[in-house]
Structure 1
Amino acid sequence: MVSASATKVEGEYSFLNKNSPLDQFEGVKTHLYYFGAEHGNDNLKSFACSERSDPNLLDTILLSQWDNFAWKGHLDYDVTACQLKVIEGGRNFVCQLNNKWNSFFLKEYDKFFESFGYLKPNSMKRYVLLCIAQGENDRPEVAPSSSPPKDGLLVIANAHPVEYGHVFLVPSAMINQVSCYGDKRMFQLATKIASEVNNAAFRVFFDSGISVVSDHMLFQACYFANPLPVESTSTFTVYDGKARAGIIVSETVDYPLKALVFTSNNLQALVSVVSEISSSLHDNTTAYSLLISNNGTKVFLFPQVKNLATGCSLSAWECGGYFVYHTKFDFDSASETEISSRMSSVSLHASAFEDLKHLCCAIADDLVT
């Protein structure tokens, strides 16, 4: 089991340690974390299936800020107190019982950002944990600022968490109502965050259907103590670019939701290929979700069709095999058969998935040199 780096008090959230790296910035509304320039083009780190070394700066700041947010009573509930179980069967789906979590909250895009008042000072102080951007110095650094850079990602606490440390990663440009869908720089920042956090428990998510505003985007992230079921499923290689830029494209085997997996230690190659594929799916109005795991070296792509019965698609963590139930009855009744059926209902038909595989291989072959 890989655990988050913050020390937790049994039954409650841990609170901001007096020796936190952010002590020197007490009272500053927004903390800026700048990536070191030396990480601009180098390979990503991979620490999956192993314990991490000492926690690094970004991981410590992120968890300290989120814990502080929880300690001040801003969360609607203690997600660490929610009951969890692993479904019997070969796939080990995970279920959480949480009668307070509201999935519709995440889909009310406009109302969600109206609640922040477009980052007025009071809202910023309460919800914005920090801003992350590319720096110019050799080493990462933290600096105080009252105005986030336009090319950064705001880390905004989710008051309705699905798991520990749940945050939104929101492009600063989006707050100013500037179109930023498909901005490769933002996907690159999100991927670098997964690498820089350097914690195998940390995952980043993206759902194309979360917003009714088609030209905006946001990412989410949180910590899962154990691998998600899809991360343990077998894969079959459909494109091997190890001899070129080191990117490999695979498909999941015997998983109820058809998915593709992009693996590489080369940040530029991974970002270029996945961003181009995502833009193609967006242009063709195909719903999809992304799961960035393995410290930023692996991206799962879940293309989806709308469920005719519900008119909805699955969230990225549901695609990964993690489901939240609102009632004890549904939680107790959850089975591998029922979950597999939900996944299969939104999975692409075989012919459409074959077309997508060919597209992905063509894009990888064209972009990766």
Structure 2
Amino acid sequence: MVSATKLEGGYCFHSKNSPLDQPEGVKIHLYRLGIEQHDALKSFAYAGQGSPSLLDTFILSQWENFAQKGHMGYDVTACELKVIEGQRDFVIQMNDKWNTFPLKKHDKFGHPFGCLKPNSAKSYEELLLCIAEGEDTEPEVVPSTTPPNNGVLLIANAYPVEYGHIFLVPNSTNQLSSFWDKRMFGLITKIASEVNSTAFRVFFDDGTSIVPKHMFFQACYFANPLPVESASTVALYDGATRSGICVSEIVDYPLKALVFTSTNVNALVDVVSEACLALHEKNTVHSLMMSNNGRNVFLFPQVKNLVTGCYLSAWECCGYFVYHTKVDFDRASETGISNRMASFSFQDGEFEDLKKLCCAIADDLVT
């Protein structure tokens, strides 16, 4: 579990007399990123013992405030967790109340906020804050303002998979209705860097959602590395000295995957965006997981399971599974989970083509 420290000074949070009650429309806190970190992604400033960043504290304080008001479907910190002992240490959670996709209830967030006039603040309790690019060197918090169309809305997930579970949704109709917005992916990457927490992970699914063609991300906090992060890798493209990006293959893992690594946000965004667009054009379902302050992006291409007709979520690709029944939870094994993951994995030939494509993209786009 990750703890949060309440901010003191000029940074205020929602109260019962929230500005959302004002008749002129929805107003929330706006966090503007500082421009000093726009090119280089941060390394970890602390490893669980130092002071958290302003944005990290801000997100968790708002999320905990939402939880304390009784809006959560359950206390996710009370759910039983178990590590499946074995080669990969898969993590499983017992949660019979988990809703696989509560964002479908929030169609109201698919429109620009300047024209929305809710009847009460309760209509938007799950809206925590907005994050956008800033123009100053240092980050700043602007209280009670209308979210800009070029920002990202942070929405609490009332049915969390883990602590601090949020949706990150572009605040613009044209952005929300498109599959991919490269500029918005860049902003998400900078947000991960700005949070500056070893526990923070960002997820993206294309083709696995029941709301197709909508671009949104999810994020939550994991106390320990996810199983895929501990897997061995083999370098496919090493451009660390020339281009600033490396492409590696995850090996000895039941689901074929690639990981892109860079400290340069522009290089990482360019290569990952082109790879995702190429997969999308081929109607290939895929998931992403971002970790290490945005410096590592894992790519999981998938094929449809012929038995269930479904796909893995991004956190399942990473080795974290939620079970709805105690029987399934108690029966879970490394072999069973590995076989399930393998049923979604690319064939060798298809994966070889993808590896070549990603290396070519890295070589062509990043100089």
TM-score by length of 1: 0.90
Distance 1:21 1:331, change over 3 A: farther
RMSD: 2.1
Name the CA shift for 1:21/1:203 in 2 (closer, same or farther; >3 Å). farther
Counterparts in 2 of 1:24 and 1:232: CA distance versus 1, 3 Å: closer
User: CA 1:55 to 1:272, structure 2 compared with 1: closer, same or farther past 3 Å?
Assistant: same
Residue 76 in 1 paired to residue 65 in 2? no
Who is 2:22 aligned against?
A: none
Matches within 5 A, 1:235-314: 235-314=233-312
1:74 and 1:318 mapped to 2: Cα distance?
26
How far did 1:56 drift? 1.1
Question: In the superposition, relative to structure 1, how do residues 81 and 34 fare at CA in structure 2: closer, same or farther (>3 Å)?
Answer: same
- Alignment partner of 1:112 out of 105, 108, 114: 105
Q: 1:102 aligns with which of 95, 99, 103?
A: 99
In the alignment, what sits opposite 1:219? 217
* 1:150-174 residue CA offsets vs partner (Å, 9 max, x unmatched): 1111000001100000000000114
Deviation at 1:146? Answer: 3.8
1:361–1:116 CA distance, 2 compared to 1 (3 A): closer
Q: Deviations over 1:317-342 (max 9, x none)?
A: 00000000011110010000010011
The C-alpha deviation readout for 1:219-253, integer Å capped at 9, x for no partner, is 00000000000000000000000121221100011
**Distance in 2 of aligned mates of 1:193 and 1:363:** 24
Distance, in Å, in 2 between the alignment partners of 1:218 and 1:330 is: 30
Letter in 2 for 1:125: Y
Q: 2:24 is matched with which residue?
A: none
Q: Tell me: CA distance 1:148–1:180, structure 2 relative to 1, closer, same or farther (3 Å).
A: farther
CA 1:132 to 1:210, structure 2 compared with 1: closer, same or farther past 3 Å?
A: farther
Determine the C-alpha separation between the residues in 2 that align with 1:139 and 1:60. 16
Aligned-pair CA distance for 1:179 = 3.2
CA distance in 2, matches of 1:246, 1:18: 36
1:134 corresponds in structure 2 to 133
The amino acid that maps onto 1:33 is: Y
Q: Which moved more, 1:65-74 or 1:44-53?
A: 44-53
Shift of 1:284: 0.8
The residue type equivalent to 1:288 in the other structure is H
Q: Which residue number in structure 2 is paired with residue 193 of structure 1?
A: 191
Segments of structure 2 that go 5 or more residues without pairing to the other structure are: 20-26
Q: Are the equivalent residues in 2 in contact too, given 1:205–1:289 (CA < 8 A)?
A: yes
- Work out whether residues 95 and 322 of structure 1, in 8 Å CA contact, stay in contact via their aligned partners in 2: yes
Distance, in Å, in 1 between the alignment partners of 2:4 and 2:243 is: 36
Q: How far apart, in 2, do the equivalents of 1:148 and 1:206 lie?
A: 23
- Does the alignment pair 1:163 with 2:174? no
**C-alpha deviation, 1:45, in angstroms:** 1.6
Question: TM-score normalized by structure 2?
Answer: 0.90
Find out whether 1:143 has 2:142 as its counterpart. Answer: yes
Deviation at 1:4, TM superposition (A): 2.3
3-state SS in 1 of match to 2:158: coil
Q: What 5-or-longer segments of structure 1 have no aligned partner?
A: 8-16
Structure 1 residue 114 displacement after superposition: 3.0
Identity level (%): 63
